[in-house]
A and B are shown apart, each in its own frame.
Chain A
């Protein structure tokens, strides 16, 4: 017998009574969603900046290698995406669009179309996500309601810069992924 049929038959043999699947009710989120979102970004050690501030940042020359896949703001990229993600190891700044944001926890949803290469938001030293204010929702239930079952091979919520507290519970920003997250609200 294959392991598959062995596992399945062991479960079937239990002849369990099916328990009902609960319905998820809608949970209301009160208050100004944009303000709540901004507070949540700060809680997660990210920062909210304006499109103007982003432009100044890029012009400052502090980030020699900039990739931008954003369609929401003017193109600031200094090079095109390579074929292989490993060639992004010296990427200083990545600017990408988020599809929607969640006020309760500052999570921002992104899919393959937004990323270019899936490694982009992780391998870059610093990350900027551009998000339309009108796409900020209250909580995770509303977010999944909006995303639905839309097909993307990869999708993710990013909520802040890479962080760890594995050394004596001291919070350190910049473990493996981006050392900073800036959110540009447009």
Chain B
């Protein structure tokens, strides 16, 4: 798995790559307009960051509190140390209910745990009900973005897959028509499912409730029609009190899509009469990440996707180039914590421009952590080609004479250098970049002639 190779693949279709870039930038711009509509935006970010820092600093206390209050509300709480245990818990509930088909709403955690293939192996039909997730599920793909799962696809692609799977008219690419076809198809699934699975956006120990946010209403359609609701959450999803939701709900949708709030913000506190709610608290590497002083605040993430929409690398390389469940800048600091070898190229998939940190609603210092991961990885791996040239440059900048001479030599040679030397596979900087026109003289020479 190498990000540069995958990115090169993505860039082969230049037109599509350009469209991807522009579309995500459009979402970023909507976020800007929306956030600027609130004078206290920066203060909200600070509050959110502080609340999350507090929670992480006494996470054990809040987890136990949550179990206590949620249990008192009639919610059955489970603990899973890793993905395998999480999947087993889900399966055991399904087996107890003799359930062979479930509906699921967007949950990045269940993607992380690879729940779908596990359940399918055990003969359970899993239907992802978020429109974007259903589309990529038809194509046997994972989501390419955590908020916009099918952002890498064009309506032509979706029209084709719907024609095949849902018998829509061939060639009809109208988004309203295609969405309605999905609505009818998924309603049927909602009506039949006995168990519904959702993720969790926030869990509140004070009240023993958890909150799920969607725009489509798919999470609620699933759980209110089913007999059993299974909610899966990473242990970092806690915020202490209900009043803190005011801060986070103001930030989440504005950061994600520029909306002032998600359409449906559902607070689940106890099951409806005759029904069941299960809440699974999942570690899967989170306590490990919490133990890493430099990286632990990556656990503050509320999965809004703003860092992806703004990232010049993500926009131009697509979600799949990262090869991780959570792509983009935040994925590049979370994933090496899970498997540093497998994800060793991700912290390098950044210009370190810092835009990700600037838009992050909980003020995670993403670009600094990317830099820190590079140190860790380089220490573990030895030299890289870029590092070699940096070392050479360091030598040149240190000595005034070397700097002067090398400047002259470069100005003379760059003009006559054959393209093959610049645009060859060994020179990563030649990819997608042009060598600037060479000036006749150095700034120093110009200054001496004109100003001294």
Contacts and interface: CB of A to CB of B under 8 A. Distances in A.
Interface residues of B, number: 89
A129 B63 CA distance: 36
A169 interface: yes
Contacts of B245: 140, 144
B243 A24 contact: yes
B154 A176 contact: no
Q: What is the interface of chain A mostly: helix, strand, loop, or mixed?
A: loop
A159 interface: yes
Contacts of B261: 102, 105-107, 140, 157, 159
A153 B149 contact: no
Contact of B63 (A7, A17, A20, A160): A7
A109 to B, nearest CB: 9
B359 interface: no
A2 B58 CA distance: 20
B244 interface: yes
Interface in A142-186: 143-145, 147-149, 151-170, 172, 174-178
A40 interface: yes
A119 B246 contact: no
B335 to A, nearest CB: 20
Chain A, interface size: which category? 35 or more
Interface in A4-44: 4, 6-8, 10-12, 14, 16-22, 24-25, 27, 40, 43-44
Contact of A21 (B60, B130, B216, B240): B240
B350 interface: no
Nearest to A16: B57
Interface in B284-309: 287, 290-291
Q: What is the interface of chain B mostly: helix, strand, loop, or mixed?
A: helix
A133 interface: no
Given A166-B150, A167-B150, A140 B179 contact: no
Interface in B48-97: 50-51, 53-54, 56-60, 63-64, 67, 73, 79-81, 85
A152 B271 CA distance: 10
Interface in B249-265: 249-250, 257, 259-265
B269 interface: yes
Nearest to A156: B266
B267 A172 contact: no
Interface in B225-244: 225, 235, 240, 242-244
B54 A18 contact: yes
Contacts of B244: 24
B51 A22 contact: yes
A19 B50 contact: yes
6 contacts: A24-B247, A141-B243, A154-B269, A159-B261, A159-B264, A164-B131
Interface of B: 23, 26-27, 38, 40, 43, 46-47, 50-51, 53-54, 56-60, 63-64, 67, 73, 79-81, 85, 129-132, 135, 148-151, 153-155, 158, 175-176, 178-180, 182-183, 186-187, 190-191, 206-207, 215-218, 220-221, 224-225, 235, 240, 242-247, 249-250, 257, 259-272, 281, 283, 287, 290-291
Q: What 6 A-B pairs have minimum CB-CB distances, sorted nearest first?
A: A177-B217, A166-B132, A105-B260, A175-B216, A119-B224, A153-B270
